[in-house]
Amino acid sequence: MRRLRGLRGRFALALMGVSALTLAITAALLLIPLDRALRDDAVRTLAESARASRSTVRELPPSAYRADSRRLRRVLITIRRQTAADAAVYDARAALVVSTDVDDLARSPVAGRAIAAGSTVRFERAPGDDADEAAVATPFTVEDRRYVLVMHRSLNDLPAVQHVVRQALLVAAGIALLIALVVGLVLASRLVARVTALRDTALRVSDAGMVVEVRPDDARDEIGDLTRAFAAMQQQLRDQEDARRTFVATASHELRTPLASLLLMLHATSEDLADDPPDLDEARRQVGRALGQTERLTRLSATLLDLSRLDARLPLRAEPVELGELARSIVAEFPVELGVRLHAEDDLWCTADPGSVAQVVRVLVDNAALHGAAPIVVTAGAGPGRAVLTVEDGGPGVRADEAVRIFGRFERGNEAGDSGSGLGLAIGRELAVRMGGDLRLEPGGNGARFVLELPSTDVPT
Ligand SMILES: Nc1ncnc2c1ncn2[C@@H]1O[C@H](COP(=O)(O)OP(=O)(O)O)[C@@H](O)[C@H]1O
Ligand SMILES: [Mg+2]
């Protein structure tokens, strides 16, 4: 029962159903018109025979039209032999003269109709009647006396022809159904085997995890596509899993270092305070350092939160942002002593998420202050289809061999010390790319020169 409900059974049943339906329609289209055509044909042939026979009968002398005429009887018997139809002659009152069939009295109404009509009358009994027959009555005149030649034949042999056709159709149906069943089973078995293999792999993956290898199918069909999609999905999940593992490991390492020194500082402070007399100066210094570490930890945890938001792919806003105005407000956040200079074009509109743009600009100015030196210059201008913000400083710049690496997560320059998290540029570039722009380091200039590009937009009215 389960097999029948599976793909194999359904496939075979569907193919058989289609074959059966096709044959049933063929049978209906063939048998009904066949019956009609056979009957029409029989009546037409009979009418032709009657017309030909009438000429033969008419050649007899008038004296031959009597009930006891042996000549007339002989002619009619010859006609029957030649046409396989019974023949009878009726007079003008539709009374039987001579016949080859004993029952011919019964056909005098047909003869009467032919005399009344003055022309050939065809007659066919409905099938289902005991005597299923076709009759043709054709009037003729011999020396001013009118007679009718009636010819009739039984149609009882027609069902035999139909029977042969029906039988042939049934045999064809049987063979077609058998072929459909076999083809359905073979086709479905191959499909089912491939789907089952894929299911087994999926079950093994859910049991044993990503170590199970999904082998993509070579076939260029939908199931092949499915296995390839499955393998690609597995690879992506693996990559994500790797990235997550690295992230957790690095993040906990990054957190552990400042936490360990914080602990040491607090121990030292508590020892300084336990001294007799307490070493208040040293304790104050230690508390100052501990505060610094705590601030660093706070910044780091905020940055990690930013990163996890990015990884969760929370949607960014896409709205018109005036880049010059935004740069001005970020520059204003930094202490005046830093001397950050700003050159911004007016009406520099771009499509972006304002919070994210502010975050990137903050990272760049922060880095210039931390890793570079004065003068720090922020420029906002327009490029082709882009709004461009550049942050330059007069520091040592980025070493050529570090230019790519510093955009990686938790990557710090060799000269950078361990004050930062190494996440600023990584987050900045990812945000820029997700807003349809880019963040890159440009060679040339005195120190470092970072360029943020965003898609520009028309001035909103
Ligand atoms: N303006 C700059 N001048 C020189 N080096 C820079 C500058 N900005 C960034 N860097 C280098 O790029 C590295 C990565 O920067 P970032 O991702 O912001 O991490 P962090 O600032 O926490 O070290 C820095 O460690 C530094 O080596
Ligand atoms: Mg930084």
Cα–Cα dist 160/417, whole Å:
106
Crossing angle of helices 424-434 and 354-371, in 10° steps, is: 150
Structural domain count of the chain: 3
| Segment 116-144 mean pLDDT | 78
The predicted-structure confidence for 209-226, as pLDDT tens digits, reads as follows: 878 888 888 888 888 999
Last residue of a domain, one of 288, 311, 334: 311
300 CB contacts (<8 Å, ≥6 apart)? 254, 255, 258, 421
Domain span holding position 105:
2-160
For residues 235 and 383, membership in a common domain is answered with no
The predicted-structure confidence for 432-441, as pLDDT tens digits, reads as follows: 999 999 999 9
Query: How much distance in Å is there from the Cα of 163 to the middle of ligand 2?
Result: 94
Q: What is the pTM of this model?
A: 0.61
Per-residue confidence (pLDDT) for residue 334, from 0 to 100: 96
For residues 335 and 353, membership in a common domain is answered with yes
- For 92-185, strand residue ranges (E) read 96-99, 121-124, 133-142, 145-154
Do 371 and 421 form a contact (C-beta atoms < 8 A)?
no
For residues 335 and 442, membership in a common domain is answered with yes
pLDDT for residue 125 is more than 80: no
For residues 307 and 323, membership in a common domain is answered with no
Query: How much distance in Å is there from the Cα of 418 to the middle of ligand 1?
Result: 11
Query: CB neighbours (10 Å) of residue 451?
Result: 20
Cα–Cα dist 1/143, whole Å:
84
C-alpha distances in angstroms, 347 versus 324, 382, 439?
Answer: 7, 10, 21
Per-residue confidence (pLDDT) for residue 285, from 0 to 100: 94
pLDDT for residue 127 is more than 50: no
For residues 7 and 154, membership in a common domain is answered with yes
The predicted-structure confidence for 351-361, as pLDDT tens digits, reads as follows: 999 999 999 99
- Whether residue 409 is contained in a domain is answered as yes
For residues 40 and 120, membership in a common domain is answered with yes
Query: How much distance in Å is there from the Cα of 358 to the middle of ligand 1?
Result: 18
Q: Looking only at Cα atoms, what is the longest distance across the chain?
A: 170
Lowest mean pLDDT: which of 167-171, 193-197, 207-211, 284-288? 207-211
- pLDDT confidence tier of residue 126, bands split at 50, 70 and 90: low
Query: How much distance in Å is there from the Cα of 8 to the middle of ligand 1?
Result: 63
User: Which of 425, 430, 439 for a ligand 1 pocket mutation test, highest count of atoms within 8 Å of Cβ?
Assistant: 425
CATH number at residue 356: 3.30.565.10
- Which DSSP string do the residues of 165-223 spell out, in sequence order? HHHHHHHHHHHHHHHHHHHHHHHHHHHHHHHHHHHHHHHHHHHH-TTSPP-----SSHH
Q: Which residues line ligand 1 (CB under 6 A)?
A: 363, 367-368, 370-372, 393, 395, 397-398, 406, 412-413, 416, 420-426, 447-448
What whole-number percentage of the chain has pLDDT above 90? 44
Do 212 and 59 form a contact (C-beta atoms < 8 A)?
no
| Segment 395-399 mean pLDDT | 93
- Whether residue 461 is contained in a domain is answered as no
- Whether residue 342 is contained in a domain is answered as yes
For residues 268 and 339, membership in a common domain is answered with no
Lowest mean pLDDT: which of 50-64, 104-118, 231-245, 265-279? 104-118
Q: Whose CA is nearest to atom 22 of ligand 1?
A: 420
